[in-house]
Structure 1
């Protein structure tokens, strides 16, 4: 049996209903008969999964592994049959899903929201002054005082 020693995609890309994992040098290695073979991207270099069923779609892709001057050529369907690659694929997908679920926050969004709220409050104060609505003006000033002091310009 072949054991996957290391399997990290160079990058993972979601394309519609497919998940494409692309591999590069030193990111994929297998152990066969206590010998370590490293992936070389001379033929196939990607695994494409159906995002809905998680089935491998490119079973005929040929992966080549090298140790010194010896090579192992394995079609993906054969690699799936004779190795523990399923375990590694599952952990890669779980890791990718964790990143998606965490939600990446855009830097500075809190500051932008605060600035927009400040500008909106100032426009509402201007509106209260134009319409001579003393009650609205006083209410808005209370919000402005509560939000960090009165800003006299």
Structure 2
């Protein structure tokens, strides 16, 4: 049995930290099976959860149900991903959120590096004040150092 995703538009998308939830409703998700269109029905599972850090689908055992007239078929998400092009559709929907998490992590890393450089500079200025015998500058810089360390 080969399935293709005919349409996949999440009813809504919810990002909670590093988890992305794609929630589906009637008429927003359909597949082609044996050249017939089956509509998703939210009888059992209605969402796909993606970990944005690992880019992995987390609810692989959830059952998705599709219907055409009186015919219904149930399929676990992991199997749906194996026998269809669902993964390609998930990538296109989630890419924006993956990029956003990546940008946040890069910004955080950059901010941490800047703080480290500022601390190194402060230590150099303290060393310079000691070398030059500038007691006032030394006292001001060590007070600043204490404040910096207290805020980290």
Q: TM-score range by the shorter chain?
A: 0.5 to 0.7
- Structure 1 residue 91, shift from structure 2 partner: 1.0
Q: Retained in 1: the 8 A contact 2:55–2:98?
A: no
SS of 1:43 mapped into structure 2 = coil
- Structure 1 residue 94, shift from structure 2 partner: 2.8
Taking only aligned residues, the RMSD between alpha carbons, in angstroms, comes to 1.8
Segments of 5+ residues of structure 1 without an aligned counterpart are 101-153
Count of paired positions = 100
- Structure 1 residue 99, shift from structure 2 partner: 9.2
- Structure 1 residue 96, shift from structure 2 partner: 5.2
Determine which structure has greater relative contact order: mean sequence separation of CA pairs < 8 Å that are 6+ residues apart, divided by chain length: 2
Q: Which has the larger radius of gyration?
A: 1
Q: What TM-score results when the alignment is normalised by the length of structure 2?
A: 0.62
Give the match for residue 32 of structure 1: 33
SS of 1:89 mapped into structure 2 = helix
Indicate yes or no: 2:85 matched with 1:88. Answer: no
Give the match for residue 44 of structure 1: 45
> How far apart, in 1, do the equivalents of 2:63 and 2:56 lie?
17
Segments of 5+ residues of structure 2 without an aligned counterpart are 102-152
Q: Retained in 1: the 8 A contact 2:13–2:23?
A: yes
Shift in alpha-carbon separation, 1:96–1:51, aligned structure 2, 3 A: closer
Runs of 4+ in 1 over 3 A off after TM superposition: 95-100
Give the match for residue 23 of structure 2: 22
Give the match for residue 68 of structure 2: 67
Q: What TM-score results when the alignment is normalised by the length of structure 1?
A: 0.61
SS of 1:64 mapped into structure 2 = strand
- Normalized per residue, the structure richer in helix is 2
SS of 2:57 mapped into structure 1 = coil
> How far apart, in 2, do the equivalents of 1:55 and 1:94 lie?
12
Give the match for residue 132 of structure 1: none
